[in-house]
Amino acid sequence: MTQFIDIAALDDIPPQGARVVKTPVGCIAVFRTADDQLFALDDRCPHKGGPLSEGIVHGTSVTCPLHAWVFDLNTGQAQGADDGQVRTYAVRSEAGRVLLDAAFLARRSAA
């Protein structure tokens, strides 16, 4: 079940940039593309744990700042020859606010 919660104003996130949301399961990076699409992924590169939120956002991809792995923001899948996947979360914008699906928190507390 999805459960969207308001985490920030859209303008808090720079276009072609990201901001971090702290959660009990680790940090989540919320990305905003040049054309205002939003994506949320674990803020941890599966390679060496680099903070993806600090990567350069290009198109709907982000390049990890530590060793330049490139991830597709849609799927969290590493691109090119690199192999790895980052967990993704549902996120959307509504009336200038950013809403993140926090179902993962509920699952955790139910467990």
Partner 1 sequence: MKQKLVVIGAGMASGRMLETIFDAGGNFDVTLFNAEPRGNYNRLMLSPVLSGEKTYAQIVTHDADWYAAHGVDCRFGEPVVKIDRENRVVYSNAGGVPYDALVIATGSAPFIVPVPGKDLPGVVAYRDLEDTNAMISASAPGAKAVVIGGGLLGLEAAAGMAARGAEVTVIHLMGHLMERQLDPAAGYLLQKDLESRGIRIHCKGATKAILGTDRVEAVLLEDGTVYPADLVCMAVGIRPEVRLANDAHLEVGRGITVNDQMRTSDPAIFALGECVEHDKQLFGLVAPLYDQAKVLAATLLGQDVAFRPVQTATKLKVTGVDLFSAADFAEAPGREDIVFRDPGRGVYKRLILEGDRLLGAVMYGDTADGSWFFDLIKQGKDITDLRDTLIFGPAFAGGASANPLAAVAALPPEAEICGCNGVCKGKILTAIEGGANTLDMVRSATKASASCGTCTGLVEQVMALTLGDGFTANANPPMCKCTDHTHEDVRRLIKSMGLKSIPAVMQELGWKTVGGCASCRPALNYYLIADWPTEYADDRQSRFVNERNHGNIQKDGTYSVVPRMWGGVTTPAELRAIADAADRYAVPMVKVTGGQRIDLLGVKKEDLPAIWSDLNAAGMVSGHAYAKGLRTVKTCVGTEFCRFGTQDSTGLGIKLEKLLWGSWTPAKVKLGVSGCPRNCAEATCKDIGVVCVDSGYEISVAGAAGMDVRETEFLCKVTTEAEVMEVIAAFTQLYRENARYLHRIYKWVAKVGLDWCRTQVEDEVIRRALYDRFMLSQSVYQIDPWAEHAAKPADWAPVADLTIRAAE
Torsion sign across C-alpha atoms 12, 91, 26, 105? positive
Angle at 12 between CA 25 and CA 36, to 5 degrees: 95
Give the position of tokens 């490139």. Answer: 70
Binding mask 56-95 for partner 1 (x = CB under 8 A): xxxxxx-x-xx-x-x---------xxxxx-----------
In this chain, which of 1, 95, 109, 111 binds partner 1, going by CB under 8 A? 109
Q: Are strands 70-72 and 88-89 parallel, antiparallel or unpaired?
A: unpaired
Q: Can you give the binding site for partner 1, defined by CB under 8 A?
A: 5, 7-8, 12-17, 19-24, 27, 30, 33-34, 47-51, 54-61, 63, 65-66, 68, 70, 80-84, 100, 102, 105, 108-109
